[in-house]
Amino acid sequence: MLLFLILCPIVAAIVILAGAPARITAMCAATIELLAVIVLLVLFVGSSRNFEFVSSLPINSDWRLNFTLGVDGLSLLMVMLTALVLFAAIWFAGTIANRPNAFYACLLLIAAGALGAFLSLDLFFFYAFHELALIPTFLLIGIWGSGNRYAAAWKITIYLATGSFILLLGLILLYRSVPEAARTLDIRGLQTAARAGAIASGAQNNIFILLLIGFGILISLFPFHSWAPEAYASAPAPAAMLHAGVLKKFGLYGLLRVALPLLPDGAQHWSTLLIVLLLGNIIYVGLVTIAQKRLDWLLGYSSVMHMGYVFLGLAATNVIGTAGAAILMFAHGLSIALLFGIAGEVRRRTGTLVLGELGGLAKVMPFAGLVFGIATFAAIGLPGFANFSAEIMVFFGAFSRGADMQRFHMFQIATLLALWGVVISAVYMLRAYRAVFMGPLRATIAQSPLATPIPRLPVVLLVGFSLWVGFFPQRFVKLVAPSLKPAATLAQK
């Protein structure tokens, strides 16, 4: 079943490149993928930390390299996110005039790379599938992007290639740090070795900082964030939906799956540095977001800012904090995908995303105004949406670190500072909504030709899942908590 989830978009992409109708084939593949993930969710037991539906194909016995797939609660949550955002991105793509077959094939390959990374239990394929997804991302921005798309495509490629290289060095050192008798590329075997104390504390410090920087560049951790806003502003809307909504979560998933459970001493050693950097994401990038004059750049910086909350949950390293971080990854993926999708429809309708040139669009695009408003409320953490539930868990998890001390711990200070990010995000998102959809309608916009209607089904799915998680977060906490207990060991120290 897991192999089918990875092969489905790859086979569909090959069929499209061979000449099949691009949009219909891509929509069929995305629908099948979503239905398969729903079946997987129904069949998943999730009663322990063990992976389910495990399958393995030996590749190289000398290197102990196997193509091994498996799913637990954390990876299942990410697979659900990938299927939902892929389905929405395909629907929002619409008619592509320039090389439509290649465009849809690239979207499917990004999803396949993300799915492969989330489902792989072998470090080599975990890394390789992510690299597979970066190639179509470069092509989508460079060929079908807007604005200074060539510079944006090369910038994201250079940044992410650098991050991937640093990450590769960290993974190699991690593999070499385990005694030869227990050395393996299987993540389960590495977790067993780590629990037995096979990785020395000094080695953990060196490896963790490499993984933090490598994953951090891929996530747009401050100060390695400048590639993200320009790339998302230049990318076509479906590509921005998939990368900001799904592929960026690979780095966060890697920290939860690899860095925290395998290198607990290293994570504790660098916790102060991580706190400082994530506050840069929340406070500094948040203030920069307020100053943006274009909707696409604003959403790009907003995506960077919200990564700071996820890092805060990861830094808490207790079950409630890491569970909040995992659910916030899912919640943010839904809301930012919806925001970029509506922004793409606004650009298609008006030809611009400059806030000063927009206004009154709710009169001619009422459904877009409604959906953008809902996504705005979700993004700023309004109660009832998944973002609110996740952020509450992150704040409680981070504040509880060091709560038994007589004076404020750095995690408590960081939590209080991070709370101002909620105010900052409310300011820039509500101002953006007012600038785009409220006020008088500009004459140039009123006279422009009508665009195709916004697809209803993907909107209903994205909003519905956000509300489902928001009203019933405990079900999803129970889904991911068993997977996160190895990453929550630091809270006991």
pLDDT of res. 363: 84
Q: Are 254 and 276 in the same domain?
A: no
Q: Point out the domain boundary residue: 209, 239, 266.
A: 266
pLDDT of res. 447: 62
Q: Point out the domain boundary residue: 244, 266, 288.
A: 266
- Dist. CA 219–CA 212, nearest whole Å: 10
Q: Are 230 and 290 in the same domain?
A: no
pLDDT of res. 487: 65
pLDDT of res. 444: 67
- Phi/psi of residue 56, each to 5°? -145, 140
Q: Are 397 and 365 in the same domain?
A: yes
Bridge partners of residue 69, in order along the sequence: 55, 120
Q: Are 236 and 318 in the same domain?
A: no
pLDDT of res. 29: 92
Tell me the mean pLDDT in the region 337-358. Answer: 87
pLDDT of res. 490: 45
User: Omega before 223 cis (within 30°)?
Assistant: yes
Mean pLDDT check: name the lowest of 42-56, 111-125, 151-165, 396-410.
396-410
Q: How many residues does this entry show for the chain?
A: 493
pLDDT of res. 287: 92
Query: How confident is residue 13, by pLDDT bands cut at 50, 70 and 90?
Result: very high
Tell me the mean pLDDT in the region 437-449. Answer: 72
pLDDT for residue 187 is more than 90: no
Instruction: Confirm if 83 and 33 have CB atoms less than 8 A apart.
Output: yes
pLDDT for residue 486 is more than 80: no
Tell me the mean pLDDT in the region 470-474. Answer: 91
Tell me the mean pLDDT in the region 313-317. Answer: 86
Tell me the mean pLDDT in the region 328-336. Answer: 93
Which SS3 state, helix, strand or coil, does residue 64 take? Answer: coil
Q: Are 248 and 384 in the same domain?
A: no
The residue behind tokens 């820039």 is: 428
pLDDT of res. 22: 87
What is the domain extent for residue 2?
1-266
Q: Are 181 and 311 in the same domain?
A: no
pLDDT of res. 64: 74
Query: How confident is residue 66, by pLDDT bands cut at 50, 70 and 90?
Result: confident
pLDDT of res. 366: 86
Residue 154 C-beta-side C-alpha neighbours within 13 Å: 3
Q: Which residue has the higher pLDDT, 183 or 76?
A: 76
pLDDT of res. 404: 61
The model's pTM is 0.90
**Residue 68 has what DSSP assignment?**
E
Q: Are 260 and 284 in the same domain?
A: no
Tell me the mean pLDDT in the region 465-484. Answer: 89
Q: Which residue has the higher pLDDT, 61 or 151?
A: 151
Q: Point out the domain boundary residue: 218, 247, 266.
A: 266
- Dist. CA 314–CA 265, nearest whole Å: 14
Q: Are 255 and 303 in the same domain?
A: no
Q: Are 22 and 80 in the same domain?
A: yes
